[in-house]
């Protein structure tokens, strides 16, 4: 019976050839490392967010009068609602870590170099989308924390000349964070952003398979140069089979991700949930110490440190722009960052500044 079904499919889509081309005979560089699996982990993490998000969507009510209570209902009354919400909430934080690590490893191994500039651009856009996902999702529980953290973040564009106030009001749908903001963020979070992310993810994966996976600059064969004057698929005939060799590594990494998630849920369930996250939003009562999510703490602290907020915002925009276009600005042939002390110093320095500002922003 199974064989008959398989034959039926085989005749129609050539399943054997597909499996052969995409899995068993698909080869990847022998010196590939675990960091290359972070992209797959990010896809798995995003899929988990989608699945748990759908369950939460069944019970969540996007209205200021009901949002907080509906979330409490999910936590206390819906069977296993707590599990879905915890996986979604902890997962959103871990997803930011995974995507950021993926970007850092791509940067560190200069995998963005020609001909993969477009892959970098799409990947960077997905990082920004992930952060927008987190920002929009943060407001939905309508707690004191989510309300005031969103107030801070949506206030930031007021620093822009001429259009700043309009931008802030456009985000909020009103002069203050309100029910209109909740409606907008909800629509963004469950419709527009997922559609955009899936589209970009499709382009990202297409580019990876079309161009071929990049060779890490470290280990055997890492220093090989390929002259790229016309398009060709970069393949590795003597490389490691993708299936089952590399798939096993990817499964390992996904399980590490899930283990980290359930370690937090089991032993540190309040790690990403400060006390204000458990108090209903009150627009008339500002909490004593308000701050945004940990991944926005560095830009937040930067704005607090720089006396001119506009200058601070502009510097951040420049940093994002430079990073976005980095493949076109980095013209050196050398791919091994360890042999480029200036770039390595800048990379580590920027990372330390980011970590320092994040820690500082906590106080």
Partner 1 sequence: MGKFLRQSSVLFIVLVLAVPVLAGYRDIASNAIVNQAVVESEIENLCLTCHESAMMDEKRRKIPGEWRASWHFQNDVSCHNCHGGDPQDAALAMSPERGFVGVPKYQRVPAFCGTCHIGILKNYLASGHGRALMENGSGPNCVTCHGAHNIQKATIDIINENRCSQCHSYDRAKEMKHALSRTEQKIEDIEASITRLKAARVFTEEEDKEVFRTLAEFRTLFHVVDVSLVKDKTDDYLKRLGVIDKKLQGIFSELDSRRNFSVFLLLIFVGMAITGYLLSKTYS
Peptide bond into 230 cis (omega under 30): no
CB of 331 to partner 1, least distance (A): 7
- Residue 156 in contact with partner 1, rule: CB under 8 A: yes
Distance CA 227, CA 214 (A): 14
CB of 256 to partner 1, least distance (A): 5
- Residue 331 in contact with partner 1, rule: CB under 8 A: yes
Give residues 71-100 in contact with partner 1 (rule: CB under 8 A). 72, 75-76, 82-83, 86
Q: Decide: 302 and 293 in contact? Cβ < 8 Å.
A: no
Quick check: helix, strand or coil at residue 79? coil
Q: Decide: 335 and 110 in contact? Cβ < 8 Å.
A: yes
- Residue 342 in contact with partner 1, rule: CB under 8 A: no
Sign of the Cα torsion 310, 314, 317, 319 reads negative
- Residue 310 in contact with partner 1, rule: CB under 8 A: yes
Quick check: helix, strand or coil at residue 211? helix
Provide CB contacts within 8 A for 146, sequence distance 6+.
Answer: 138, 139, 140, 277, 281
- Residue 278 in contact with partner 1, rule: CB under 8 A: yes
- β strands within the chain, DSSP E: 27-28, 240-241
- Residue 277 in contact with partner 1, rule: CB under 8 A: yes
Interface with partner 1 (CB under 8 A), residue from 22, 33, 235, 270: 270
- Residue 167 in contact with partner 1, rule: CB under 8 A: no
Distance CA 333, CA 292 (A): 40
What mask of x and - would describe binding to partner 1 in positions 311 to 330, judged by CB under 8 A? x--x--xx--xx--x--xx-
What mask of x and - would describe binding to partner 1 in positions 100 to 119, judged by CB under 8 A? --------------x--x--
Consecutive H or E run containing 355? helix 341-361
Render 212-257 in DSSP notation, one character per residue.
-PPPPSSSTTTT-----SS------TTSEEIIIIIHHHHHHHHHHH
Interface with partner 1 (CB under 8 A), residue from 125, 152, 200, 337: 152
Interface with partner 1 (CB under 8 A), residue from 180, 196, 258, 357: 258
Q: Which residues of 103-124 are buried (b: 16+ CB within 10 A; e: fewer)?
A: bebbbbbbbbbebbebbbbbbb
Binding part of the chain for partner 1, among 105-113, 199-207, 277-285, 337-345 by CB under 8 A, reads: 277-285
- Count the Cβ atoms, other than its own, within 10 Å of residue 64: 19
CB of 220 to partner 1, least distance (A): 14
Provide CB contacts within 8 A for 299, sequence distance 6+.
Answer: 316, 357
In the complex with partner 1, the residue whose CB is nearer, 70 or 136, is 70
- Residue 265 in contact with partner 1, rule: CB under 8 A: yes
CB of 191 to partner 1, least distance (A): 28
| Token pair for 142 | 């309508």
Give residues 229-248 in contact with partner 1 (rule: CB under 8 A). 240, 244-245, 248
Binding part of the chain for partner 1, among 53-61, 183-191, 214-222, 304-312 by CB under 8 A, reads: 304-312
Distance CA 8, CA 82 (A): 43
Binding part of the chain for partner 1, among 15-23, 49-57, 230-238, 256-264 by CB under 8 A, reads: 256-264
Would you tell me which residues interact with partner 1 (CB under 8 A)? 72, 75-76, 82-83, 86, 114, 117, 148, 151-152, 155-156, 158-162, 240, 244-245, 248-249, 251-253, 255-256, 258-259, 262-263, 265-267, 269-270, 273, 275, 277-278, 284-286, 290, 300, 303-304, 307-311, 314, 317-318, 321-322, 325, 328-329, 331
């Amino acid at each position: 019976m199974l064989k008959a079904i398989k034959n039926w499919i085989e005749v129609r889509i050539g399943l054997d050839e597909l499996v052969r081309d995409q899995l068993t005979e698909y080869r990847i560089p022998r010196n590939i490392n675990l960091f290359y699996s972070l992209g797959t982990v990010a896809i798995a993490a995003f899929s988990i967010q989608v699945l748990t998000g759908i369950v939460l969507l069944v019970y969540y009510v996007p209205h200021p009068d009901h949002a907080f209570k509906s979330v409490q209902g999910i936590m206390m009354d819906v069977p296993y609602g707590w599990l879905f919400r915890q996986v979604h909430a902890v997962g959103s934080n871990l997803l930011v870590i995974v995507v950021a690590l993926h970007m850092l490893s791509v940067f560190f191994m200069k995998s963005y170099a020609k001909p993969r500039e477009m892959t970098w651009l799409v990947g960077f856009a997905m990082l920004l989308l992930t952060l927008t996902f987190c920002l929009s999702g943060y407001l939905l529980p309508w707690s004191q924390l989510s309300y005031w953290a969103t107030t801070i973040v949506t206030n930031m564009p007021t620093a822009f000349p001429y259009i700043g106030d309009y931008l802030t009001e456009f985000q909020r749908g009103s002069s203050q964070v309100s029910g209109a903001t909740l409606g907008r963020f909800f629509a963004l979070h469950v419709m527009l952003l997922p559609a955009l992310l899936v589209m970009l993810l499709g382009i990202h994966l297409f580019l990876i398979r079309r161009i071929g996976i990049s060779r890490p600059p470290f280990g055997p064969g890492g220093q090989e140069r390929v002259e790229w004057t016309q398009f060709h698929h970069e393949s590795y005939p003597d490389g490691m089979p993708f299936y089952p060799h590399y798939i096993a590594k990817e499964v390992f990494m996904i399980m590490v991700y899930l283990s980290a998630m359930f370690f937090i849920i089991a032993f540190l369930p309040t790690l990403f949930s400060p006390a204000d996250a458990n108090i209903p939003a009150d627009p008339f009562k500002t909490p004593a110490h308000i701050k945004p999510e940990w991944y926005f703490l560095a830009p937040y602290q930067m704005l607090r440190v720089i006396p001119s907020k506009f200058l601070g915002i502009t510097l951040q925009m420049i940093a994002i722009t430079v990073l976005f276009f980095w493949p076109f600005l980095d013209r050196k042939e050398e791919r091994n960052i360890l042999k480029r002390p200036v770039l390595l110093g800048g990379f580590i320095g920027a990372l330390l500044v980011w970590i320092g500002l994040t820690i500082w922003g906590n106080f």
